[in-house]
A and B are shown apart, each in its own frame.
Chain A
Amino acid sequence: MEAALHPGFLAIIHDAQGYQGGLLITNSWSRPLEFRLTAPVQPTRVHQVLYGSTLRRYVMADVIGKALLDKAATPVQVLFVDASELLDLRRHLSVPVVWVQPTEPLSAGVVNDALSWSWGGQVLRASSHADREEASTLLARLGDMDLLEPFSRVREALGEARKRPAA
């Protein structure tokens, strides 16, 4: 019997309050097992100056993404992310990190290269060929799961947490 497959979905919103991340870990039916969210991170002018063009990637992957994964108690076998910057998280993880690209064309964001592939109407990208192979194997176990949909849940949950911060 195969071990249970628990995909993770990490989404980050960025608005006037700063960057805020949410990590949803589900079972293979997309039912929630665990959810973690960060407090908003608001880089200052100094940070913008210091980190320059790398600031976004740094905040998203190294500050928010890593913090979320450190706190998560449920092991994931594959991590889906909603931004290319989060592919950097692979450096901190031993499982594939897959960027689920928006279906709407984003000329600046969508990458068409050897690490990208199409699955279930969505364009995915891994950070290595090995990850792509491993992720493809795992995806076969997820059936017809819509990989973009869980991100909308994460964003909605983040919005709810902002409206009702008291736990």
Chain B
Amino acid sequence: MSTQGPEALTPPLAMPAVRRNLLAQRGPTTALATPPVRTLPLLSPVPTTHDWRLTDLATKVRQAYLLDDVPWVRSWGGPIALRTTVTGWRFPQPLQPTLSPAAAEQADADPRSNGIPRKTRRTRLQPPADALLLRERLLLLLQPPLEHLFTGKRIRLPFEPFKYQIDGIAFLMPRHAALLADEMGLGKTMQTIVATRLLLYAGLVQRVLIVCPKPLVTNWGRELRIWAEDVPFEVIAGTTEERRFFWTQSPCPLKLVNYEVLTRDAGVIDDDQVHFDLVILDEAQRIKNQHSKTAQAARALRRERSWALTGTPIENRPEDLINLFAFIKPDHLPPETPVKKLPELTRDFLLRRVKEDVLTDMPPKLIRDTYVELTPEQRTRYELAEKEGVVHLNALGDTITIQHVFELVLRLKQICNFDPLTGASGKLEQLQADLMEVASSGRKAIIFSQWVEPLEYLADRLAEFGALQFHGRIPSRERLGVLERFRNDPKQHVLLMSYGTGSVGLNLQFANYVFLFDRWWNPAVEDQAINRAHRIGQKAPVLVTRFITPGTIESRICEVLERKRQLFAELIGQGVTPSLSMTEEEVFGLFDLTARPQRGPKAETGAAARSAAA
């Protein structure tokens, strides 16, 4: 941009002759802007009877103070001239979302339309430590406070975000590598969508990919329509050719894909045309096995920014975190990274908040362990099965494997649920009594089990409470309808869910009761299940009932896991968690076994446990 005004100066006539000569020798200068010549006649002439250059500068030139306008002396140039250099940048052109005239009018009329007074709080983006370029850092620092964007007609949000959510958005936006590990129910999806929306409007990203578990695609679509109504998105699905078009040709700025399709289309991803400015992995614990095809496909995505969302960044062992970072920031955490170094190395990329920290006014979550005695039929069956099982395991000698032990554990756990011959169940009797109270008060309850068969059996026995089922045997196309019925039909008081299908991503905050009919191997998975109901939007306390049959394998497993949970609580402040699944040694320790396998005793069994339980 050019400015007005003269660019050069001719020595003014009113100037003493010696100075005019000096300036004439130097010639015109463009070093400095100059005052209008009209100001110069105001000068009082200085004596010309001595060599001005030899006089005391400080004393004589003070007469220039008589100037009341920009002084003429700047035309001297050379060592007297003041100069500066200018650097700077033009930034990517931001977009301005277009609002309908009615929406704009409404927003204009209400400067607090998002509920955020303009000057109450200013959340600014801070450059992350790994942003090395000054241009990049300044672009972040120069962004307006987030509250300004949410105020008035700028970025319309349907609800006022919580303070911690704005902090989360401010955490995500500047980062090329980020792990948002908020506890379930704090709104990771919403924070991610708003941060993505702001990046799109800032012109910092143009192509975004969100990868999520298949059951959550619908949920993401709904959340996108709520929190980013003006951002078009599409779901990568359909035939191979259709999916190839979505990957390589479609100009839509935001695409959604599930992990299964991502893995299936690994070949297409190799195409040079497939490149994203931002890739977001939801429920990112899906890639914690670094050798899985899912993890490999996720890491193969060409991308500028990598965000991962999970409520359980360390589900079983610290290596989970290292494997997540293989996607988030490749090569930042080598596999051999010492555990004690993890907090320091991940601090700038990881944000985790728990409800107790940020939602002080959220209804409480009350957990009660309900010890339910086995029925006589169950007790007889259980003791016989355990006795015979232990004898069988010991007879295996050093050929025994962890799978042998798991088979016995699973058989005993199933007996703890129901007697396989008579169907008798102490848990069911207690559950029916509890659900009578739930239904009579017009409330709703979610019941979790690790197996589908007990859920199907329970559906029959709990028909009077309008029990609905949501598990792997319910076709995907029917699941949304099940959830809608559970939400809207006052006669449907019970939802029967499997941990595998219902523990992540679903918003069921209209339910106030959660029953864990049997226990999962890993408390983190149980926490995810519980948090389907205990999340933002919940209006009443959530009562969680964990059924445990005393004197059985269930209570022994609970004791082991509870010890681990306490250890987790002690270490979470350091960002490191111990193994939450049971080690092979611990599994063998559940029984009085003399047999032991020949190989090493410390193998982690979480994956084996899950596969055995599936």
Contact = CB atoms under 8 A, between A and B. Distances in A.
Interface of A: 21, 23-24, 26-41, 43, 45-47, 49-54, 57-59, 62-64, 66-76, 88, 91-94, 143-146, 149-150, 153-154, 156-157, 160-161, 164-167
Interface string B357-390: 0000000000000000000000000000000000
B421 interface: no
Given A50-B64, A156-B141, A69 B3 contact: yes
Give the 9 A-B residue pairs with the shortest CB-CB distance, closest first.
A36-B88, A92-B3, A52-B65, A32-B142, A30-B144, A62-B33, A31-B94, A71-B86, A38-B84
A29 B154 contact: yes
A32 B91 contact: yes
A50 B80 contact: yes
A157 B136 CA distance: 11
Nearest to A145: B148
Interface in B79-124: 80, 82-91, 93-94, 96, 108, 111, 118-119, 122, 124
Nearest to B155: A29
B86 A62 contact: no
B85 A54 contact: no
Interface string B122-154: 101001000001110111011111001101111
Given A33-B93, A74-B1, A49 B142 contact: no
A33 B94 contact: yes
Contacts of B90: 33-34, 73-74
B149 to A, nearest CB: 7
A143 B152 contact: yes
A54 B1 contact: no
A41 B145 CA distance: 30
Interface string B490-529: 0000000000000000000000000000000000000000
Nearest to B70: A58
A122 B430 CA distance: 67
Given A37-B87, A37-B88, A93-B4, 8 more contacts: A30-B148, A38-B84, A41-B82, A52-B62, A70-B1, A76-B1, A153-B124, A160-B138
A27 B148 contact: no
Listed residue (A50, A58, A75, A164) with the most chain B CB atoms within 10 angstroms of its CB = A50
Contacts of A70: 1-3, 86
Contacts of B463: none
B202 interface: yes
A153 B124 CA distance: 9
Listed residue (A88, A144, A150) with the most chain B CB atoms within 10 angstroms of its CB = A144
B433 interface: no
Given A29-B144, A93-B4, A146-B148, A164 B134 contact: yes
A29 B145 CA distance: 11
Nearest to B2: A70
B74 A49 contact: no
Interface of B: 1-5, 32-33, 36, 57-58, 61-62, 64-65, 67-71, 73-74, 80, 82-91, 93-94, 96, 108, 111, 118-119, 122, 124, 127, 133-135, 137-139, 141-145, 148-149, 151-154, 201-202
A58 B89 CA distance: 25
A67 to B, nearest CB: 5
B5 to A, nearest CB: 5
A2 to B, nearest CB: 12
A161 B85 CA distance: 14
A27 B88 contact: no
B367 to A, nearest CB: 46
Contacts of B69: 54
Contact of A66 (B3, B68, B202): B3
A88 B127 CA distance: 35
Contact of A46 (B57, B91, B139, B144): B57
Listed residue (B62, B65, B90, B135) with the most chain A CB atoms within 10 angstroms of its CB = B90
Contacts of A73: 1, 90
Nearest to A36: B88
Contacts of A28: 96
Listed residue (A51, A91, A143) with the most chain B CB atoms within 10 angstroms of its CB = A51
Listed residue (A21, A35, A69, A156) with the most chain B CB atoms within 10 angstroms of its CB = A35
Contacts of A34: 88-91
Nearest to B3: A92
Contacts of B4: 91-94
A27 B96 contact: yes
A98 B61 CA distance: 34
A85 to B, nearest CB: 11
A33 to B, nearest CB: 6
B134 A167 contact: yes
Given A37-B87, A50-B71, A73-B1, A63 B138 contact: no
Contacts of A43: 82
Contacts of B153: 143
Given A30-B144, A34-B91, A53-B65, A93 B3 contact: yes
A37 B122 CA distance: 24
Contacts of B145: 149
B56 to A, nearest CB: 10
A29 B141 contact: no
B84 A63 contact: yes
5 contacts: A29-B154, A46-B80, A51-B64, A93-B4, A167-B135
Given A144-B111, A153-B142, A59 B82 contact: yes
A78 to B, nearest CB: 13
A150 B89 CA distance: 17
Given A35-B91, A36-B87, A70-B2, A52 B71 contact: yes
B119 A146 contact: yes
B137 A160 contact: yes
Listed residue (B68, B74, B122, B149) with the most chain A CB atoms within 10 angstroms of its CB = B74
A146 B137 CA distance: 23
A52 B62 CA distance: 8
Nearest to B59: A49
A160 to B, nearest CB: 6
A165 B152 CA distance: 37
